[in-house]
C-alpha cells in the first residue's frame, strides 16, 4: 500500500498527505528487516514532526487523540526513533491473542435460565433467575475482540447490539504499521471468540431458551480488532479503544456510561495501547481485561497494567459432578452454587496467569467450562464450553456495567476499589476437581493467583454509593 492512500485522523489536509506520501525508508543495515513501530509523542503531532519521522521510515497512521503514530521502518531505526526529543516511547507493534485455551462441545442442553457462572458471581441463583436489582440498562459495553458471527441475530436480541456504532479495524504490525477500517467486517467473524464473550455479558438464546448474562440489558458495541484466527496487534487494539472513547467524549453515547472489555493480551505493555487506555480512563471509561492464560509465566497486557481492571479465571468444584438428579453432564445449568459464596467451592485454574512484580491482578471470575455460542461450521449454530481468562473478563465487565447503571458517576479507580473490597478472598490452596472424562485433577494455586478474590455482583452493588 502506498502511504499516499493512508486515511489520517488528523484531517490536516493536503500538507499531511504530501508528508506521508513523500516519506522514504532510511537505508537498511545488512540482514535488517522492516517492522511496524508504534510511537507515542511527548507533544502534539505536527507536520514538522511527521516530516522528521519520515527520515526514519514511513508514517502509516496518526492518532491525534493520544499523540501517537504508527510507522513502517527498518528494525535498526528503532533506537534512533526512541532517541528523538519529541518521542516519549516507541516499540515494535506488540502481538495480541484472544484464543481460549480449550474448547469442548457442549451437549445435553435443556431448559434453564441460569448457568453456574452467573450464579457464582451472584447475578442469578439456581431456579430463581436474577437476584440483583440491576440489569445494565443505559450502559454501553464495548467488546473489543473478533467481532460477531454472521449468525449473531440467532443468539442475541437485535436491540442489544449497537449496529450503527459497530466498527472493524484491521492491519497492524503484520502490515507494517498500516491500520485500516474495512466496512461491515465486524459481523462476519469466523472465529466465534467475540460472540462467546458477548454472550457472557448480555446472555444468549439457546435454541429459543433465554440464558442469563451478567448485564442483560446493556448495549454492546462490537469492535473487531482481532483477525479471524484470534490474533492481532496493539496498534489496531489502540485504534479500537480510541474509537469507542471518542464516541463517549463526543457525546455520541449521550450521558450513558461506557465499559470496555478486552478478552485479549500479550507480553509487554505497548506504548500506544497504554496511551489509548490512559485516554479512555481519563474520559471516564471503565476498562476491563483478561489476566492472561500463561500460568506461572505471568500476566499478559493490557490486563497487567495497573489502571486496567484485570480478571483471573476461577472454576467451581461442582464441575462434572452428578447433582441431585444424578446426572454429571448437566451440572452447568442444573446444579446450585451455594450461597453465600464459600471459597472452598472454588479454585483458580492452572492456566490463569499469576501476578508477577510490577503487575496488577485485581479479581477472579468464572473462566472454566463456560458455555456460550461458538461455531465450528459457518452458519450452523452451536454452543461450546470455553476456558480462559477471556471468559472471566466479561463477567467482571458485566458487574462493572451494573455498578455504572446504579451510579454513572463512578470512575475507573472507584469501580476497581469496590470490586476488590467486596470480593470473596480465595486464599492459596488446592482442590480436587472432576473432569469430563478420566480421573479427577488436583489443582493448586498460590497467593499470586486470585487478586483480591472472587468478584461478587451483589456485594459490589451493595457497596456502590
Is the previous residue joined to 277 through a cis bond, with omega within 30 degrees of 0? no
Q: What is the DSSP letter of 454?
A: B
DSSP-assigned letter for residue 439: S
Strands 58-63 and 129-130: unpaired
Q: At what angle do helices 193-202 and 389-406 cross, to 10 degrees?
A: 40
User: Quick check: 228 and 152 in contact, CB under 8 A?
Assistant: no
Distance CA 156, CA 434 (A): 32
What nine digits make up the cell of 24?
A: 522514504
The C-alpha cell that represents 47 in the structure block? 507536520
Rounded distance, CA 306 to CA 359, Å? 7
Other CB atoms within 10 A of residue 17 CB: 16
- Residue 313 · residue 367 · CB < 8 Å: yes
Residue 354 burial (10 A CB sphere; 0-12, 13-18, 19+):
buried
Pairwise CA distance, residues 181 & 163, whole Å: 15
Cβ of 190: how many Cβ atoms within 10 Å?
A: 13
Assess contact for 193 and 226: CB atoms under 8 A.
Answer: yes
Which residue numbers are catalytic?
Answer: 145, 193, 390
Question: Contact, 10 vs 16, CB < 8 A?
Answer: yes
Specify the residue for cell string 526513533: 81
The Cβ of residue 437 has, within 10 Å, a number of other Cβ atoms equal to: 7
Integer Cα distance of 176 and 187 in angstroms: 25
Q: What are the phi and psi torsion angles at 22 (to 5°)?
A: -95, -5
Amino acid at each position: 500500500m502506498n502511504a499516499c492512500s493512508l486515511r489520517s485522523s488528523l484531517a490536516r489536509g493536503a500538507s499531511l498527505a504530501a508528508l506521508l506520501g513523500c516519506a522514504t525508508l532510511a537505508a537498511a543495515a545488512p540482514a535488517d528487516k522492516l517492522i511496524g513501530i508504534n510511537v507515542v509523542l511527548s507533544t502534539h503531532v505536527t507536520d514538522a514532526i511527521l516530516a522528521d519521522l519520515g527520515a526514519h521510515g514511513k508514517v502509516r497512521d496518526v492518532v491525534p487523540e493520544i499523540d501517537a503514530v504508527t510507522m513502517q521502518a527498518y528494525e535498526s531505526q528503532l533506537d534512533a526513533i526512541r532517541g528523538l526529543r519529541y518521542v516519549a516511547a516507541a516499540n515494535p507493534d506488540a502481538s495480541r491473542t484472544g484464543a481460549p485455551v480449550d474448547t469442548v462441545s457442549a451437549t445435553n442442553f435443556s431448559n434453564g435460565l441460569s448457568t453456574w457462572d452467573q450464579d457464582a458471581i451472584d447475578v442469578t441463583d439456581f431456579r430463581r433467575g436474577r437476584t440483583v436489582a440491576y440489569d445494565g440498562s443505559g450502559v454501553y459495553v464495548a467488546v473489543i475482540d473478533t467481532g460477531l458471527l454472521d449468525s449473531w441475530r440467532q443468539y442475541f436480541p437485535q436491540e442489544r447490539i449497537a449496529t450503527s456504532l459497530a466498527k472493524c479495524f484491521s492491519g497492524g504490525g503484520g502490515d507494517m504499521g498500516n491500520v485500516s477500517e474495512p466496512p461491515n467486517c465486524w459481523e462476519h467473524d469466523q472465529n466465534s471468540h467475540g460472540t462467546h464473550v458477548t454472550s457472557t455479558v448480555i446472555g444468549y438464546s439457546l435454541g429459543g431458551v433465554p440464558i442469563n448474562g451478567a448485564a442483560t440489558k446493556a448495549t454492546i458495541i462490537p469492535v473487531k480488532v482481532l483477525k479471524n484466527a484470534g490474533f492481532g496487534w496493539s496498534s489496531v487494539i489502540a485504534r479500537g479503544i480510541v474509537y469507542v472513547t471518542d464516541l463517549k467524549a463526543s457525546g455520541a453515547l449521550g450521558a450513558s456510561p461506557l465499559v470496555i472489555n478486552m478478552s485479549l493480551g500479550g507480553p509487554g505493555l505497548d506504548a500506544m495501547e497504554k496511551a489509548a487506555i490512559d485516554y479512555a480512563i481519563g474520559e471516564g471509561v471503565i476498562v476491563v481485561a483478561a489476566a492472561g492464560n500463561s500460568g506461572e509465566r505471568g500476566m499478559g497486557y493490557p490486563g497487567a497494567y495497573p489502571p486496567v481492571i484485570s480478571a483471573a479465571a476461577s472454576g467451581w468444584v461442582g464441575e462434572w459432578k452428578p447433582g441431585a438428579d444424578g446426572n454429571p453432564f448437566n451440572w452447568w445449568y442444573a446444579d446450585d452454587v451455594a450461597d453465600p459464596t464459600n471459597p472452598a467451592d472454588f479454585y483458580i485454574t492452572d492456566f490463569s496467569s499469576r501476578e508477577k512484580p510490577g503487575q496488577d491482578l485485581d479479581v477472579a471470575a468464572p473462566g472454566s467450562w463456560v458455555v456460550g455460542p461458538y461455531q465450528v461450521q459457518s452458519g450452523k449454530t452451536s454452543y461450546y464450553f470455553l476456558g480462559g481468562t477471556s471468559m472471566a473478563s466479561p463477567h467482571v465487565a458485566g458487574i462493572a456495567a451494573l455498578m455504572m447503571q446504579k451510579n454513572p458517576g463512578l470512575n475507573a479507580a472507584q469501580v476497581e476499589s469496590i470490586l476488590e473490597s467486596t470480593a470473596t478472598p480465595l486464599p492459596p490452596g488446592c482442590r480436587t476437581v472432576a473432569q469430563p472424562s478420566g480421573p479427577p485433577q488436583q489443582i493448586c494455586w498460590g497467593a499470586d493467583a486470585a487478586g483480591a478474590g472472587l468478584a461478587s455482583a451483589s456485594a459490589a452493588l451493595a457497596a456502590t454509593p
